[in-house]
């Protein structure tokens, strides 16, 4: 494994797996360019050190070539941020891609078309009949795995070295994120996004300054159980917010009105409480909540205890008094991890709790607390409020971040760190 800062890119073609899966509106304009901006330092490093670039990514979930998911739509944004013009190969497996990569000169940049236009990128058979037999499914799977080998080999043939800078897909054993690395046993490395993500998460999991507090939000206990239990080994405090709170409350006999609840997970919720106690983790979840008489932004609201919600009403956000309790915990912490909203963040009327958490984290970061934010709406909250650069690290990893926190080996990381 090489280090991007020490590698000699002079005269070499670097094929870089980035995550440019950015949201586009109906006019194909990028509505959030965070992922492109994040990859620019890696791309510029290669060019500054005398190399050329072959950029590869996916966009969306196409089932084949389609204009809607073409990477050509994001070329202007990449050119503007990278400060140079791009060559474009409209077929990542085509003759033009091979020819353009072979003739790349130092300082030049080639963008390959969407990798997922080919089923081989993910290694999953497409267009199987709904009534396909098990034998047919098995044969199709074997065929795609075989053709995936050629797909990967051809991608690798374009370059002299390989950089994986797509943490968001590091949990997938795809051709471009994992399999390709074997063709560069002595010339593979992480980009700055990957390095930064790994270092930030490891700082929480492996070398945290204590006390450590995790804020875990979201709708369902079932989707966060593994990360909650894993973090019990690391945390001194855990704050649980969002819809999952009401499963805990109902499991202990509380009245939750129409609030979201996973009735089949109540035993699990009770076991989590026992595990926290056994591990010596201080658990914070119960308190006052903002409730509404309908799941709507303009609903009537009031504040009440989360274990005494009137019939017909549902919990929508953490109340100011609850946030105040959490704030004291956060201000007495040295390391904070935040994953998931503490209210119905997509509705402005019920985003106040989540936004206040973002404000608190920005403030304590300025006072020396290490703060890691990752996962959907929590990232959206710090970004929308202009705090993305005021916390220690914002992870764009999504599912990859969760799996890494859960202790699962990610194929995209293992492919780089393994020998050969």
Catalytic residues, by residue number, are: 35, 220, 376, 399
The Cβ of residue 407 has, within 10 Å, a number of other Cβ atoms equal to 11
Nearest Cα neighbor of 334 from 360, 366, 283, 368 is: 368
Alpha carbons within 13 angstroms on the beta-carbon side of residue 230 total 16
CA dihedral 406, 408, 413, 414 (to 10 degrees): 160
Nearest Cα neighbor of 179 from 366, 415, 359 is: 415
Long-range contacts from 1-5, C-beta under 8 angstroms, 24+ separation: 1/188, 1/189, 1/416, 1/417, 2/161, 2/186, 2/187, 2/188, 2/189, 3/189, 4/42, 4/45, 4/163, 4/189, 4/190, 4/191, 4/192, 4/195, 5/45
Residue 328 structure tokens: 């004291």
Long-range contacts from 310-314, C-beta under 8 angstroms, 24+ separation: 310/257, 311/257, 311/258, 312/257, 312/258, 313/257, 313/258, 313/259, 314/256, 314/257, 314/258, 314/259, 314/260
Number of H-type helices and E-type strands within the chain: 13, 17
420/414 Cα distance (integer angstroms): 11
């Amino acid at each position: 494994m090489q280090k991007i800062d020490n590698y000699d890119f002079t005269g070499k073609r670097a094929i870089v797996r980035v995550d440019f899966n950015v949201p586009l509106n109906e006019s194909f304009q990028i509505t959030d360019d965070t992922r492109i901006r994040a990859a620019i330092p890696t791309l510029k490093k290669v060019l500054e050190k005398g190399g050329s670039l072959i950029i590869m990514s996916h966009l969306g979930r196409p089932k084949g070539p389609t204009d809607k998911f073409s990477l050509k739509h994001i070329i202007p944004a990449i050119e503007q941020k990278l400060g140079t013009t791009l060559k474009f190969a409209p077929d990542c497996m085509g003759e033009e891609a091979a020819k353009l990569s072979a003739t790349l000169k130092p300082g030049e940049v080639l963008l390959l078309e969407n990798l997922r236009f080919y089923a081989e990128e993910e290694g999953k058979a497409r267009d199987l009949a709904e009534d396909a037999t098990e034998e047919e499914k098995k044969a199709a799977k074997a065929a795609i795995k075989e053709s995936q080998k050629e797909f990967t080999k051809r991608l690798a043939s374009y370059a002299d070295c390989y950089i994986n800078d797509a943490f968001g897909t590091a949990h997938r054993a795809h051709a471009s994120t994992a399999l390709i690395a074997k063709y560069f046993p002595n010339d593979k490395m992480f980009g700055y996004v990957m390095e930064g993500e790994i270092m930030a998460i490891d700082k929480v999991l492996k070398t945290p300054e204590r006390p450590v507090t995790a804020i875990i939000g979201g709708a369902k206990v079932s989707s966060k159980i593994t990360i909650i239990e894993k973090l019990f080994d690391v945390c001194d405090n855990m704050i649980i917010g969002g819809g999952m709170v009401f499963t805990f409350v109902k499991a202990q006999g509380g009245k939750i009105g129409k609030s979201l609840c996973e009735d089949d997970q109540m035993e699990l919720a009770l076991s989590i409480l026992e595990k926290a106690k056994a591990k010596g983790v201080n658990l914070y979840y119960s308190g006052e909540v903002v409730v509404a008489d309908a799941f709507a932004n303009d609903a009537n609201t009031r504040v009440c205890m989360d274990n005494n919600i009137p019939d017909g009403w549902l919990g929508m956000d953490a109340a100011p008094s609850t946030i105040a309790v959490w704030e004291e915990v956060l201000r007495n912490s040295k390391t904070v991890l935040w994953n998931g909203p503490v209210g119905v963040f997509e509705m402005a009327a019920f985003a106040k709790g989540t936004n206040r958490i973002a404000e608190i984290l920005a403030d304590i970061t300025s006072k020396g607390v290490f703060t890691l934010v990752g996962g959907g709406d929590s990232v959206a909250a710090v970004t929308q409020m202009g705090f993305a650069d005021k916390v220690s690290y914002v992870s764009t990893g999504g599912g990859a971040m969760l799996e890494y926190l859960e202790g699962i080996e990610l194929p995209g990381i293992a492919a780089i760190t393994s020998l050969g």
